[in-house]
Amino acid sequence: MGLFGNFEKRSEVAAAQASATWRDIMQPEDKSGTIDERKALADSALDTCVSTIADTCAGLPLDIYEYQQDANGKRKRVEVEKPQWLVQPNVNEPLLDTLKTTLVSLLMHGNACWLLIRNEAGELVGVEVLDVERVKVYKDKGQVKYTIDGSNMLNGEQIINGHNILHFKNKALPGEYWGLSPIELHRRTINGSLKSEEISTAMFEKGLMTSGAITYPDKLDQPEADRISKQLSAAASVKDGRGKFLVISNGGKIQQLQISPADAQFLEQKKYSAIQIARIYKFPAYKIDPSVTSTWGTGIQEQNQNFVDTTLRPWIDILESVINTYLVEAGQYVKFNLDSILRGDIKARYESYGKAIYNGFMAPNEARSLEDMPPVEGGDTFLVPLSQGDREQNYRKGEAAIAKLVAEVEALKRGIALNDKPNPEEGGIID
């Protein structure tokens, strides 16, 4: 091949490299094999991460609020009545199950989809969680649209986000509208963890571990050795050959039976794999492996705060953002209440409530609501310490005093005392 042939070959390679997409770069070809959600959930570390995040987030109180103005013109947050689709989104299951299934889909696939059920008037009355394998997304004339089971029509209408489908997605690459699947992105790590579990299970199933060894100075024939081993194993309740005794004759010796350095390294690899899976979901390693020291804070409250901020809040933000954008009325918003996770002991809570109420930035009924207690009459009034008095009243008194002082100064300029008639005999000034 001549000079020009080499040049043409290099040009073809450069063109092929330049045409690589972001997905090619982020997901290079590998031979680790595909993995589905059922296979992935067989890994105990991954199942712990997904279950804990989904169960915790789905179990949080979910309320809907709006801002209103009170009698004094102040902006105040008020809890409003939940629509039926937010109380029980599906006739076949409670809200808890709907949210949990949605979160599991998000955590496993990077996407979750709701089929929006509307009545004849177009009002939302319920939702159904779809299998994301049935849903595809595409862009048509600048608008993102969807297909379900290969069809882009549903009840005679095009499938559009926020109208008859609701799409929750995790992180996505630029120019793409479908979230990246965590189990696909990290299939090497997950497959490696599953493989190490299979190997460790096979070691015990095949009976590679023994209970001990009995040595004899004289030579024993094989039937006699088998008889002694069987008797000792039966006495030790050995089953399926696991933990059986070895019988060694003719003065044979055996070293103490203990785990080898290779086996110890294998156990460390299993521990490492579990921590790697925890990193996929930003899950604290000490919740997976008790031997790991927590670096998320010194106290339980600090650890819970970090767990909420780093692990839970990103998924909660996805749910709140999508629902607030497409489903709730203008001026309203839904919010998950994370205070139930961050609550300290009862003594610390009551002390903080007392300080908040005394300093006037929390009403008594707000504190009672956090403790699942009913409101009381007059409990919506914000209190102010006696040393400070009523701020608004003091402000009005101050304005009146200033106005009176200005009036007195103006009157003195004219030579007339305020609220006093001029009397020449008392030295009053007559114009």
* Domain identity same for 365 and 395: no
| pLDDT tens digits along 365-409 | 888 877 767 788 888 877 766 555 555 566 666 667 767 777 776
- Asked if residue 6 is part of any domain, the answer here is no
Position 184 pLDDT exceeds 70:
yes
**Range of the structural domain that residue 421 is part of:** 391-426
Confidence of residue 127 (pLDDT cuts 50, 70, 90): very high
* Domain identity same for 42 and 134: yes
Q: Read off the pTM.
A: 0.68
Position 117 pLDDT exceeds 50:
yes
| pLDDT tens digits along 50-69 | 999 999 999 999 999 998 88
- Asked if residue 76 is part of any domain, the answer here is yes
C-alpha Rg value of the chain to the nearest Å: 36
Considering its fold, how many domains does the chain have in total? Answer: 4
* Domain identity same for 335 and 361: no
**3-state DSSP percent of the chain in helix, strand and coil, to 5:** 45, 15, 40
* Domain identity same for 248 and 146: no
Position 19 pLDDT exceeds 50:
no
* Domain identity same for 301 and 410: no
| pLDDT tens digits along 284-316 | 988 887 777 766 666 677 788 889 999 999 999
Which pLDDT score is estimated for 355? 81
* Domain identity same for 126 and 201: yes
* Domain identity same for 333 and 351: no
* Domain identity same for 377 and 398: no
Position 21 pLDDT exceeds 50:
no
CA atoms within 13 A on the CB side of 28: 2
State how far the Cα of 366 lies from the Cα of 374, in Å rounded to an integer: 10
Position 20 pLDDT exceeds 50:
no
pLDDT greater at residue 350 or residue 324: 324
* Domain identity same for 73 and 36: yes
**Beta-strand pair 212-215/245-248:** parallel
